[in-house]
């Protein structure tokens, strides 16, 4: 099997040689020093709201659970994660947790969101509510069920009435359309007939709409183009109308936000008024250095207006990193410390407990998951170092325990310990292969492991023998280059790894992630 895999890999390497060369040249032509985002790491489709003297933002979580990370800020510049909207998926929802949208109405905080419905896989728009902007959200079910796809909710207030807007027909053989409908007073259901806001006659893709009202006009800002991946061309455009229902006319330049020196494929954001009475747009974009390996990160721009009512944006560069940029945790310490792990909730059900030695990781792994359980963080740099100390005494001997860079269940790489062996392993196209194996040094009670990811996407694995790092060197370095590991809509993630039966587990004393910007 490994021989067949090597033949196939060599063939793929020849086909992708030009792509890898171009990627390397791209890294080389930029001064390597990855730019900071307002909200670092993969945080697509951010929504933002101001309440009780603070700003709150929620972003897309896609296939990572828990769902929809929540961040807070005092000034829109420095952000800290404080939780998630959902600890487990709502009963009706299956996957694809996208495009949350904050709304405040009659003393209640609403989060509208998109997800695929369990019974048929159709994307619908649901809503959760709370008395607080950052906790205790309770799902209220589906609000929009329209055709083969309903995503990207945005609520517009028109006097005493509410209107829901969304994207439709993204999966159909017809133009995409932005659609509106009157919303019930409680915000839980549509009322009346849907109406068209904007038709994608150019077939470029339109979505992520948000509205502002100014000088008698409704301004609709939306994103056009391909949102995700290395071929993205996302950008922000605007139209306006005297009526919410239209017709809308183009206003401003063709690309209000799209690309600058450090960022590309900008879009899908919402507006918030700053404390100094300026209007800001929180949106996402790919770092030109990190690209898909750090994902779509949270960015900020100030909205400005010309005397004739044409909008423009002034990009605001970040000046500091998020507080949780780097992580170093003593897992045998305070059990109340929340590192805000995320995992692929579709293919793993992790079980965590704290012991005097550290964190105990186990859980249920479906048979179609060759990787196992990965407890991960969002990296803020394409270059980073991940390390952990594994407890060899209190972990199950037959289980594999270590660290991983996880794209999805079918694409990952890691280093771990099974029995008396240290193993460097790879999952590619749904098959798991052992790249290199070395004997575990004798008479150890713990072992420290480390993965380093370089700017050339080369992954290097190490273990510590006494005070010296020993590299596990594969015969073919091509096996440990992680190009192609990124899912189309999210970044790969580093973290702890476990693979074993339901009655096995792994104990970790400590873990760290150092992003090297």
Residue 75 has pLDDT above 60, yes or no: yes
Closest by CA position to 182, among listed 206, 159, 213: 159
Domains detected in the chain: 38-315 (2.115.10.20), 327-515 (2.60.120.200)
Which tens digits make up the pLDDT trace of 345-382? Answer: 999 999 999 999 999 999 999 999 999 999 999 999 99
Percentage of residues in the chain with pLDDT exceeding 70?
Answer: 94
In the predicted structure, residue 258 carries a pLDDT above the cut 70: yes
Higher pLDDT, 16 or 289: 289
E strand or H helix that includes residue 65: strand 64-65
Residue 21: is its pLDDT beyond 90?
Answer: no
Q: Which of 42, 45, 134, 200 is catalytic?
A: 45
Is 90 in contact with 139 (CB distance < 8 Å)?
yes
Assign 388 to helix, strand or coil: strand
Instruction: Read off the pLDDT band of 24 (50, 70, 90).
Output: very low
CB 92 within 8 A of CB 141: yes
pLDDT at 31 over 80: no
Q: Which residue has the higher pLDDT, 144 or 21?
A: 144
Cα 103–Cα 105–Cα 106 angle in degrees, nearest 5: 160
User: What pTM did the predictor assign?
Assistant: 0.93
**Residue 58 pLDDT:** 98
SS3 content of the chain, % helix, strand, coil (to 5): 5, 50, 40
For residue 211 the two structure tokens come to 């509205």
- Residues in contact with 444: Cβ distance below 8 Å, sequence separation at least 6, in sequence order: 392
Q: How confident is the model at residue 93 (pLDDT cuts 50, 70, 90)?
A: very high
C-alpha–C-alpha distance, residues 80 and 92, integer Å: 30
Residue by residue, DSSP assigns 158-189 as ETTEEEEEEEE-TTSSS--EEEEEEE-TTSSS
How many Cα neighbours within 13 Å face the side chain of 293? 26
Task: Tell whether the model's pLDDT for residue 511 goes beyond 60.
Answer: yes
User: How far, CA to CA in Å, does 402 sit from each of 375, 417, 479?
Assistant: 11, 6, 19
175-223 pLDDT per residue, tens:
999 999 999 999 999 998 999 999 999 999 999 999 999 999 999 999 9
Dihedral over Cα of 497, 502, 504, 508: its sign: positive
Confidence of residue 320 (pLDDT cuts 50, 70, 90): confident
pLDDT band at 29 (very low <50, low <70, confident <90, very high): very low
Contacts of 279 (CB under 8 A, 6+ apart): 212, 271, 272, 273, 302, 303
Report the b/e string of 305-334 with b at 16+ CB within 10 A. eeeeeebebebeebeebbebbbbebebbee
Q: Are 373 and 350 in contact (CB under 8 A)?
A: yes
Active site residue 207: yes
- Summary mean pLDDT of the chain: 93
Residue 33, pLDDT above cutoff 90: no
User: Is residue 337 pLDDT above 90, yes or no?
Assistant: no
Active-site annotation holds for 448: no
| Tally of CB atoms within 10 A around 465 | 12
Task: Report DSSP letters for 286-320, one per residue.
Answer: EETTTGGGT-EEEEEEEEEE-TTS-EEEEEE---S
pLDDT at 449 over 60: yes
Instruction: Exactly one of 207, 297, 344, 408 is catalytic; name it.
Output: 207
- Look at residue 486 and tell me whether its pLDDT is greater than 50: yes
Q: Quick one: three-class SS letters along 448-493?
A: EEEEEECCCCEEEEEEEECCEEEEECCCCHHHHECCCCCCCCCCCE
């Amino acid at each position: 099997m490994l021989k067949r895999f090597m033949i196939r890999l060599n063939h793929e390497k020849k086909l992708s040689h030009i792509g890898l060369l171009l990627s390397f040249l791209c890294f080389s032509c930029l001064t390597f020093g990855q730019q900071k985002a307002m909200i670092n790491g993969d945080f697509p489709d951010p929504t933002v709201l101001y309440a009780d003297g603070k700003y709150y933002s929620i972003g897309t979580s896609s296939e990572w659970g828990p769902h929809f990370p929540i961040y807070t800020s005092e000034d829109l510049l420095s952000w800290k994660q404080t939780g998630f909207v959902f600890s487990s998926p709502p009963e009706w929802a299956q996957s694809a947790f996208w495009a949350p949208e904050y709304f405040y109405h009659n003393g209640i905080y609403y989060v509208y969101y998109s997800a695929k419905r369990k019974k048929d896989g159709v994307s619908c728009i649901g809503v959760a509510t709370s008395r607080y902007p950052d906790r205790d959200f309770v799902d209220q079910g589906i609000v929009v069920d329209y055709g083969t796809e309903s995503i990207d909710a945005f609520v517009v207030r028109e006097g005493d009435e509410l209107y829901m807007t969304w994207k439709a027909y993204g999966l159909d053989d017809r133009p995409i359309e932005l659609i509106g409908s009157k919303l019930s007073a409680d915000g839980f259901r549509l009322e009346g007939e849907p109406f068209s806001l904007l038709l994608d006659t150019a077939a470029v893709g339109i979505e992520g709409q948000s509205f502002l009202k100014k000088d008698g006009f409704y301004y609709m800002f939306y994103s056009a183009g391909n949102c995700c991946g290395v071929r993205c061309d996302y950008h922000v455009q605007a139209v306006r109308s005297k009526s919410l229902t239209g017709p809308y006319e183009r206003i401003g330049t063709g690309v209000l936000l799209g690309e600058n020196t450090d960022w590309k494929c900008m879009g899908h954001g919402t507006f918030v008024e700053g404390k100094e009475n300026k209007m800001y747009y929180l949106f996402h974009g790919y770092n030109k250095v990190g690209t898909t390996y750090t994902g779509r990160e949270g960015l900020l721009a100030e909205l400005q207006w010309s005397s004739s009512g044409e909008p423009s944006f002034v990009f605001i560069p970040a000046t500091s990193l998020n507080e949780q940029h780097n992580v170093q945790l003593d897992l045998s310490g305070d059990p109340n410390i929340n590192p805000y792990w995320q995992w692929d909730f579709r293919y793993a059900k992790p079980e965590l407990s704290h012991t005097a030695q550290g964190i105990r990781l186990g859980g249920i792994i479906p048979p179609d998951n060759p990787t196992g359980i990965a407890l991960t963080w969002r990296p803020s740099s394409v270059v980073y170092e991940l390390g952990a100390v594994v407890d060899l005494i209190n972990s199950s001997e037959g289980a594999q325990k270590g660290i991983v860079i996880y794209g999805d269940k079918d694409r990952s790489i890691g280093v771990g310990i099974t029995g008396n062996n240290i193993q460097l392993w790879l999952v590619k196209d749904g098959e798991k292969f052992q790249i290199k194996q070395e004997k575990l040094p004798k008479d150890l009670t713990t072992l420290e492991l480390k993965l380093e990811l370089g700017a050339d996407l080369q992954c290097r694995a190490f273990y510590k023998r006494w005070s010296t790092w020993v590299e596990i060197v594969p015969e073919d370095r091509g096996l440990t280059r992680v190009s192609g590991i990124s899912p189309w809509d999210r970044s790969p993630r580093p973290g702890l790894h476990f693979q074993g039966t339901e009655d096995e587990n792994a104990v970790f004393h400590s873990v760290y992630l150092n992003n090297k910007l």
